[in-house]
């Protein structure tokens, strides 16, 4: 049996009740489908993840779909994991879940908690370029995007009580850092020369995970509104350090080297930001 789940294919053998490793598969049909020993069951994608759709079908039918025979019924009930997470494990509900649209330019955006100094963002940008794809000082976080721009970039912001289960395989770039949210309770997301967006978040110190996907190129994406999308997750720090970053390995190109800005490039960027009120030109 082949089980197609969004972008994942699970090879399952009903006769032995075993399953093989997951293999990435981009199916043409973006619905959940079951075959071989099972009557097809389809669940519209909607806004649910493949994992959530699979759990919904499991709850409704008592197994993965409607088994066509007893052997398939027994085998189906033994499939208990998907994507490394138990199907019966409940995804924690975020206390904040909000989608914002950011006009991103110059291949970078900034997360602010209201306690940082705008003049320090230069140094953070230079650090991010030298140790891609991000840098932070606990008060501000700079994130580099593979795309030069996206003037309608969707970002889902989620706040959890603890680190949620990983879904790293679903994202092309992932980075983490520490960020303190000030007494005003505002997470601000901004990009050079553009207008910031604000999200209400309770004051405190958070571990922030920023994930992106849907990239087509490093640099100019061929349009001002490419299809990349991002997610920002915040959860209380637990005493552990941010996890190592994951960078997009572009097919046929790879991962670009870290770079250091020249003094002239740094000064040019400083003056552009000062011109739109994002810091001084000292």
**What phi-psi label fits residue 114: left (phi over 0), alpha (psi between -120 and 50 degrees) or beta?**
left
Encode pLDDT of 115-158 as tens digits: 999 999 999 999 999 999 999 999 999 999 999 999 999 999 99
Percent of the chain exceeding pLDDT 70 equals 61
Long-range contact set of residues 49-57: C-beta below 8 Å, sequence gap at least 24: 49/6, 49/167, 50/5, 50/6, 50/7, 50/8, 50/82, 50/83, 51/5, 51/82, 51/83, 51/85, 51/87, 51/91, 52/91, 53/5, 54/5, 54/82, 54/87, 55/87, 55/88, 57/32
Mean pLDDT over 13-29 rounds to 41
| Domains annotated on the chain, with CATH | 92-273 (2.60.34.30)
pTM: 0.65
pLDDT at 99 over 50: yes
pLDDT at 59 over 80: no
Query: What is the four-CA torsion angle of 112, 115, 119, 122, rounded to 10 degrees?
Result: -40
Encode pLDDT of 234-246 as tens digits: 999 988 899 999 9
What is the Cα Rg of the chain in Å? 22
Mean pLDDT over 76-88 rounds to 37
> Which pLDDT score is estimated for 188?
98
> Which pLDDT score is estimated for 91?
80
Of residues 125 and 81, more confidence is placed in: 125
């Amino acid at each position: 049996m082949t089980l197609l789940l969004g972008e994942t294919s699970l090879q399952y053998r009903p006769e032995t009740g075993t399953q093989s490793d997951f293999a990435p598969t981009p199916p043409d049909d973006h619905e959940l489908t079951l075959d071989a020993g099972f009557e097809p069951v389809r669940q519209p994608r909607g806004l649910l993840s493949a994992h959530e759709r699979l759990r919904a079908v499991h709850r409704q039918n008592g197994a993965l779909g409607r088994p066509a025979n007893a052997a398939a019924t027994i085998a189906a009930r033994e499939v208990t994991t998907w994507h490394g997470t138990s199907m019966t494990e409940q995804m924690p509900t975020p206390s904040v879940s909000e989608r914002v649209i950011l006009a991103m330019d110059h291949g970078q955006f900034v997360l602010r908690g209201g306690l940082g100094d705008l003049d320090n963002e230069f140094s953070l940008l230079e650090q991010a370029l030298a140790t891609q794809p991000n840098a932070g000082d606990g008060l501000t976080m700079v994130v580099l995007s593979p795309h030069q721009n996206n003037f309608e970039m969707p970002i889902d912001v989620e706040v959890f009580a603890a680190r949620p289960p990983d879904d790293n395989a679903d994202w092309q770039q992932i980075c983490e850092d520490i960020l303190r949210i000030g007494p005003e309770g505002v997470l601000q997301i901004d990009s050079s020369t553009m207008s910031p967006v604000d999200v209400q978040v309770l004051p405190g110190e958070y571990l922030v995970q920023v994930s992106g996907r849907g990239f087509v190129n490093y640099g100019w994406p061929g349009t001002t509104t490419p299809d990349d999308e991002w997610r920002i997750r915040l959860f209380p720090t637990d005493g552990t350090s941010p996890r190592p970053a994951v960078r997009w390995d572009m097919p046929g190109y790879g991962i670009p080297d870290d770079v250091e800005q020249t003094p002239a490039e740094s000064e040019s960027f400083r003056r552009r930001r000062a011109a739109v009120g994002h810091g001084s030109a000292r």
